[in-house]
Structure 1
Amino acid sequence: MAQAATRTARDRTVHRHGPRLAHSAQAGDRAGGIPGWLDERRRAGTFEVRCIPFGEMVKWRIDPDTGNLVHDSGRFFSVEGLTVRADSGTTWSQPIINQPETGVLGILVKEIDGVLRFLMQAKMEPGNIGLFQLGPTVQATRSNYTGVHRGRPTPYIEYFVGERRGEVLTDVLQSEQGDSFLRKRNRNMVVEITEDIEVRDDYRWLTLGEIHQLLAVDNLVNMDARTVLSSLPFPPGDEDAAPHSDTEILSWLTGIKTRHEREVVTSPLARIEDWRRTPAEIARSDGRHLRVLAVSVQAGNREVTSWTQPLLAAQRQGIAAFIVRRTAGEPQVLVQGLTQPGTFDVAEMAPTVQCVTDGWHDLPEKPPYLDYVLAVPDDRVHYSALLSEEGGRFYRRDNRYLVVEADETLGGDPPDAYRWLGLSQLKRFTGYSNHVDVEARTLIACLQSLWGKEPLWARG
C-alpha cells in the first residue's frame, strides 16, 4: 500500500512537471560553450593531483592492527578488506570503500524566461579525467556539509537540508557502485525554487536540452549529475508498452534476491588473500581488477584547498550497455537482476551488459549479450560515450556507456535473470531505493537525452 501511495504521488508529480521538463529538454543553445567554461574554471585557480606513497598522507593513516586506510577523525570513509563467499562456492577477497554516512547529490531548478533551468557546477574531483566535470548544484558528503573538515561552507546546501527548501521534485536514497562500495547510498534530490539567488563563478544555469547535448561528450557530465538526472519526472510513455506489470517485476527481482545466498564479511585489509602491498599501492598479484593508491590534492575552489586521500583505480575500462527494442510510443529496455558484493539489498536492476570487456574470461561463464553488444553494427548504436565514475573515490575510472538496438536474433524470451521493461516503467523504479543500480541510472539519463527522437521513439 505504501508503494502504491508513493506511485500515486509520483504520478501527480510526473503529470504536473513532465511537460515543463519536456519543454526544457527542447530548449537551449549554449551547450557548446560549456567545455570552454570548464577549462576557464580550471585555469582560474591552482589545481594539482599527484600520486604519493601512503606514508605521505596527512590526516590519513594505515591502522596498525588491520592495515585499513582510515581518517584520523573516524569520519569520511575507510578502505577495508572484504571477503565474499558466494552460493556457487566461489570465495574471493578484495578492498572495499566503507562510507556509512549518506551524502547529498542535489540539483536546484528554477523557471527563467518560461523555461526550467538547472543550476550545474564546474566540479573538481581528484580522480576526474580532466579534473573538472559538470556536476550537480550540491555534491557533498555529510562530513563535508556539516563542516568536519573545518573548511568553507558548502554552497546552496541550505536548499536541500535547511529551512530554505523549495518544492521537492525528487528525493530518494540511491546506491553507488556495488563492486567497490559497501552498501553506500546517497540522497538524490531535485528542488525547484522561485527566488532569485546569487550564481557563483563555478555555477551556470543550463536547460535540460543543453545538459542532454553535453551527455554525448566523453567525460564531461559527472556520475553524480547523471544519477540525479535519471530520477527526473519525465512525461509518461505508453503504459501498455511494458510487457510485465510492476508487481511481476518486483516479484522477479525479489526471487533473484532470495535465490542468491552470499556471505559478505569485512576483514582486515592487511590480510586479504592474493593482494600485495607496496609503499604506494595495494593491488592483486596478477594485476587484475583494481588497485588502491594515495593522492595529494591542491584545489583552490574547494571547501578545503589541499588534502590527501586514498582512491581506487580500475585496471581496465568497463562497459555498461542497454539493449533496447522499439515499440509504439517508447522503447523497451532489457535489464538484468545483478548481485554485487557491496549492494545494499543483494540485487538491483542493472544494464543488459555490465562488465569489463577484456576480463570476461575471468568469470565462471561469459556474460550473456556481451558478444552482441561488442559486434553490433553502427546503425544500431543509438548512444555511445566514455563517462567517468565518481572522481572523489575513483582515480580516472571510466566506462563505455552504450544504448544499442536489438535485432531479430534476440527474439524470444530472455534468460531468467533478464526482463524487458518499458522505459517509463524502469524510470518509475528509480523513485524507490535499492531497485536500479548506478550504471543503469546513468544509461537512463543517456536514454532521456534521446527523448522523442526517431527511430527509438517510433510513432505508432
Structure 2
Amino acid sequence: MTARPAPLRIARSALCRDGGAGRDSGNGRAAGPDGVQAWLDQAALRTHMEVTRVPLSGLAAWTRDPGTGDLGHRSGGFFTVRGLEVDHPLGPVPHWSQPIIDQPEVGILGVLVKEFGGVLHCLAQAKVEPGNLDGLQLAPTVQATYSNYTRVHRGLHVPYLGYFLDVSRHHVIADVCQSEHAAWFLRKRNRNMVVEVAGDVEAAPGFRWMTVGQLHRLLTRDDLVNMDLRSVLSCLPFAGPDVRAAFGARGDGFRAALTRSCDAAGRALHGDAEILRWIAETRARTAVRTRRAPLDGLRHWHSGDDAVTHESGLFFDVIGVEVEAAGREVGRWAQPMLRPHGTAVVAFVVTRIDGVLHALVHALAEPGSINGVELAPTVQCTPENHGHLPPSARPAFLDEVLRAGPDQIRFTARLSEEGGRLYHARGRYLIVETEPGGRWERPGYRWLTLRQLAALLRRGHYVNVQARSLVTCLFSLTGDTAVA
C-alpha cells in the first residue's frame, strides 16, 4: 500500500483530472466531470436545508449570560460567542474590541483515500451547512466538531468516524492540528487527517470517490469545494524528490516553474533554517495582547435582542438562525452565526526566481491565533473594512492585486469560508504572477517555495487557513497541462 513515495502517488492522482482509472463500478467512483455533476445533482435531490433568520433572544437551547451577555449553549458544549479586547501596538489599528467565537475543542477534518486502478482516490462528501451561500458543497469524509462526534446533540453517528478515531489498522498519510479563521475564532483548531485504507469501503449515499485531480478541477467552480476540504488537501505531502519528473513539465513556463517549486531539487531564495528563524523572530517581537470582555458593552458595538452589530455597519454581525435539515445527524436546531460584510480578497503574489516559483507570504498577527503569528497570503482583507483608515494603513500589495491583468492571473474563484459558524462568508481567491524585484520583500514578507510551505504544513500552526486554501489552489495548477 505504501511502496511508492507519497508525493509521487499524489502527483499521479493530481494528473487524473477526469478520473483516470475511475470507471464507476458501483463503488461511487466518477469517471469524469459529467459523472461528478450527475452525482452532485442526485445528492442535491436528497438533501434539504431551510435556514431562517431569528433574533438572538429567541434561539432555542441558547442562553445569554446575565452578567456579560455572552451567548452559550445550555449543554455547555459547541461554542460561546463572547467579547474580546485586542491590543496590537505595531498594527495599523493599535486597539479594538470585537465579538469572537470561543470553541475550545479540537474537531476532526478527515479524508479517506484508497487506490483504485493504482490511482489514489479521496472520499468526498456532498454536504450542506447553514452558512453556505449556494447550498451543497464538497466536504471532507468527516467534518465534525468534538461536540458533534461525541453526540452532545443526541443525534445520529458521524459516518466513517471510526477510521479516524482508531488508525491502528490503516496508513496515516497526514495528521496535523491546524488553526481556523483567527480573526473570528479564538484559538480554534482542527485535526486535519488523511488516512489510507486497503480494504473495501463502500461510498454511502452522499459520498463519492474522486481523484485529487478531479477535486482540483472543481476548485475553479465558485463556492463548491468547501474550506475544510481545501485545508485537508493542503496537508497532503505533495512535495518531494522527483515530483517535477512525475508531472513531466519541461521548459521555462509557469507550470515547469511550479513543479520545480514542489521538487526537493528546486532551489529556494531563503533556506529552510532561515525561514524558521524569521518566523520565530517575528513571533517574538509581535506583541498582540488579548483579554476577554463582556459581549454586552463592547466599545463601538451594539448588542441587542436581534443581533450584535458594529456602529459603522462594517466588519460582521452576530445573528441567529433556525435550521431544518434532511440527511444530517440532527434534523432541527438553532444557533448564532457570524455574518461578515463584503467579499474578502485573498491572494498569493507569485514569481519565478531562478526558474523556481515562489509565493510571497505575510507573517500576520491575528487576535485568535494560538501562536500570535502565522503565515498568511500576500493579501488577506476585506477592502471595505479599510476605507476609513489613512492611506498608510491600506493593506500592502492590495492595489497591485486588484490591478492585475488577465495575463497575470493564474487562478481565480470565489470560494466559501467555513459554513457551520459563518454565514455567507466568501473570498475572491487569486494567484497573481509578477516579475521579481526588491520592492516585494519587506519586513513581514518573504518568498517561499511550495516545498517549503508543504514542510511547514506538516508542523501545524504555521500556515493560516486562507493560505492553506491558496496552497491547494496553487498545487492544483500542477496537473493542469493547459497552464503554460
Change (3 A) 1:25 1:281: same
Instruction: Point out the more displaced range, 232-241 or 175-184.
Output: 232-241
| Aligned counterpart, 2:412 | 384
Identity of aligned residues (%): 44
Deviation at 1:61, TM superposition (A): 1.4
Change (3 A) 1:165 1:182: farther
| Aligned counterpart, 2:12 | 23
Deviation at 1:328, TM superposition (A): 5.7
Deviation at 1:359, TM superposition (A): 2.8
Alignment partners' CA distance in 2, 1:15 and 1:417: 38
Instruction: Point out the more displaced range, 380-389 or 268-277.
Output: 268-277
| Aligned counterpart, 1:406 | 434
CA deviation string 1:313-341 (max 9, x = no partner): 10111011001112466411110100011
Instruction: Point out the more displaced range, 359-368 or 22-31.
Output: 359-368
Alignment partners' CA distance in 2, 1:226 and 1:144: 21
Q: TM-score, normalised by structure 1?
A: 0.92
| Aligned counterpart, 2:423 | 395
Counterpart contact for 1:110–1:194, Cα < 8 Å: yes
Report the 3-state secondary structure (helix = DSSP H, G, I; strand = E; otherwise coil) of the residue aligned with 1:173.
strand
Counterpart contact for 1:14–1:234, Cα < 8 Å: no
Report the 3-state secondary structure (helix = DSSP H, G, I; strand = E; otherwise coil) of the residue aligned with 2:164.
helix
Counterpart contact for 2:14–2:479, Cα < 8 Å: no
Aligned partner of 2:363 among 337, 340, 349: 337
Instruction: Point out the more displaced range, 52-61 or 99-108.
Output: 52-61
| Aligned counterpart, 1:6 | none
Aligned partner of 1:308 among 334, 346, 352: 334
CA deviation string 1:280-317 (max 9, x = no partner): 21110110101000111111111111100011010111
Deviation at 1:277, TM superposition (A): 2.5
Report the 3-state secondary structure (helix = DSSP H, G, I; strand = E; otherwise coil) of the residue aligned with 1:187.
strand
Alignment partners' CA distance in 2, 1:362 and 1:161: 48
Counterpart contact for 1:109–1:117, Cα < 8 Å: yes
Counterpart contact for 2:363–2:375, Cα < 8 Å: yes
What is the one-letter code of the residue matched to 1:157? Answer: L
User: For residues 6-405 of structure 1, what are the structure 2 equivalents within 5 Å?
Assistant: 16-27=5-16, 28=19, 29-88=31-90, 90-162=94-166, 165-236=169-240, 237-327=263-353, 330-363=356-389, 365-405=393-433
Counterpart contact for 1:75–1:143, Cα < 8 Å: yes
Alignment partners' CA distance in 2, 1:367 and 1:225: 28
Counterpart contact for 1:168–1:191, Cα < 8 Å: yes
Deviation at 1:411, TM superposition (A): 4.1
Alignment partners' CA distance in 2, 1:323 and 1:286: 31
Alignment partners' CA distance in 2, 1:123 and 1:286: 34
Change (3 A) 1:426 1:56: same
Counterpart contact for 1:61–1:72, Cα < 8 Å: yes
Q: TM-score, normalised by structure 2?
A: 0.88
Instruction: Point out the more displaced range, 230-239 or 390-399.
Output: 230-239
Report the 3-state secondary structure (helix = DSSP H, G, I; strand = E; otherwise coil) of the residue aligned with 2:186.
coil
Aligned partner of 2:475 among 448, 452, 459: 448
Report the 3-state secondary structure (helix = DSSP H, G, I; strand = E; otherwise coil) of the residue aligned with 2:387.
helix
Deviation at 1:131, TM superposition (A): 1.7
Alignment partners' CA distance in 2, 1:268 and 1:120: 40
Counterpart contact for 1:238–1:330, Cα < 8 Å: no
Change (3 A) 1:207 1:59: same
What is the one-letter code of the residue matched to 2:163? Answer: Y
Change (3 A) 1:256 1:235: closer
Alignment partners' CA distance in 2, 1:35 and 1:393: 27
Aligned partner of 1:431 among 434, 438, 458: 458
Counterpart contact for 1:14–1:233, Cα < 8 Å: no
- RMSD in angstroms over aligned alpha carbons? 1.9
Alignment partners' CA distance in 2, 1:330 and 1:141: 39
Counterpart contact for 1:158–1:164, Cα < 8 Å: no
Alignment partners' CA distance in 2, 1:154 and 1:322: 35
Report the 3-state secondary structure (helix = DSSP H, G, I; strand = E; otherwise coil) of the residue aligned with 2:175.
strand
| Aligned counterpart, 2:443 | 416
Alignment partners' CA distance in 2, 1:225 and 1:305: 23
Counterpart contact for 1:165–1:191, Cα < 8 Å: no
Instruction: Point out the more displaced range, 384-393 or 55-64.
Output: 55-64
Deviation at 1:358, TM superposition (A): 2.9
Report the 3-state secondary structure (helix = DSSP H, G, I; strand = E; otherwise coil) of the residue aligned with 1:265.
strand
CA deviation string 1:258-288 (max 9, x = no partner): 1121220011101211111233211101101
Alignment partners' CA distance in 1, 2:354 and 2:185: 39
CA deviation string 1:124-152 (max 9, x = no partner): 10001112100000000011111111110
Counterpart contact for 1:330–1:423, Cα < 8 Å: no
Counterpart contact for 2:103–2:186, Cα < 8 Å: yes
What is the one-letter code of the residue matched to 1:206? Answer: M
Report the 3-state secondary structure (helix = DSSP H, G, I; strand = E; otherwise coil) of the residue aligned with 1:450.
helix
Gaps of at least 5 residues in structure 2 are 20-30, 241-262
Report the 3-state secondary structure (helix = DSSP H, G, I; strand = E; otherwise coil) of the residue aligned with 1:159.
helix
What is the one-letter code of the residue matched to 1:26? Answer: L
Deviation at 1:15, TM superposition (A): 7.0
Counterpart contact for 1:175–1:343, Cα < 8 Å: yes
What is the one-letter code of the residue matched to 2:396? Answer: P
Report the 3-state secondary structure (helix = DSSP H, G, I; strand = E; otherwise coil) of the residue aligned with 2:401.
helix
What is the one-letter code of the residue matched to 2:285? Answer: R
Deviation at 1:63, TM superposition (A): 1.6
Counterpart contact for 2:352–2:435, Cα < 8 Å: no
Alignment partners' CA distance in 2, 1:161 and 1:329: 43
Alignment partners' CA distance in 1, 2:182 and 2:356: 29
What is the one-letter code of the residue matched to 1:443? Answer: L
Alignment partners' CA distance in 2, 1:444 and 1:189: 17
Alignment partners' CA distance in 1, 2:148 and 2:366: 28
Gaps of at least 5 residues in structure 1 are 1-12
Counterpart contact for 2:102–2:185, Cα < 8 Å: yes
